[in-house]
């Protein structure tokens, strides 16, 4: 599966209002991964209206552009890192998810995080 296809799937799940992940958001076929030592450049999509943000390492090119297009169409702002203010929880895995004050569904997000082998933390 191409990175652009995987990232688009991940961002679409973000647009559903709950940052959840399925197989489409797991690792990638070329051995790269999320933040924390993966190859590629940092990419983030911050959606303050949904009280969530995510970071992933993605190589420049069509995959990064597809992710950026989906992020902005969902009302998000593309950047290189998620904000730390008002952070209430994180899921660190292939994709690093950030949840902020006002996010509803933390229990569900934590369960999904564990199911994906991610590490759930709270400040």
Identify the three-state secondary structure at position 123: coil
Tell me phi and psi for residue 63, to 5 degrees: -65, -45
Q: Is the entire prediction scored with pTM above 0.85?
A: no
Backbone dihedral angles phi then psi of residue 34, each to the nearest 5 degrees: -80, -160
**Predicted pLDDT of residue 23:** 28
Tell me what the mean pLDDT of segment 25-29 comes to. 34
pLDDT tens across 62-83, in order?
Answer: 989 999 999 999 999 999 999 9
In the structure, what pLDDT confidence band is assigned to residue 22 with cuts at 50, 70 and 90? very low
First to last CA, the chain: 34
CA torsion, points 56, 57, 61, 66, in degrees to nearest 10? -10
Strand partners, 87: 100
């Amino acid at each position: 599966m191409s990175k652009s296809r995987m990232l688009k799937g991940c961002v679409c799940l973000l647009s559903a209002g709950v940052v959840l992940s399925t197989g489409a958001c797991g690792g990638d076929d070329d051995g790269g991964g999320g933040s924390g030592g993966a190859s590629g450049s940092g990419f983030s999509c911050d959606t303050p209206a949904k009280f969530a943000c995510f970071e992933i390492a993605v190589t420049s090119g069509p995959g990064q552009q597809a992710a950026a297009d989906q992020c902005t169409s969902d009302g998000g702002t593309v950047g290189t890192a998620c904000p730390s203010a008002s952070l209430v929880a994180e899921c660190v895995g292939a994709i690093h998810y950030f949840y902020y004050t006002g996010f509803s569904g933390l229990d569900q997000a934590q369960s999904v995080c564990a199911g994906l082998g991610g590490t759930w933390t709270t400040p």
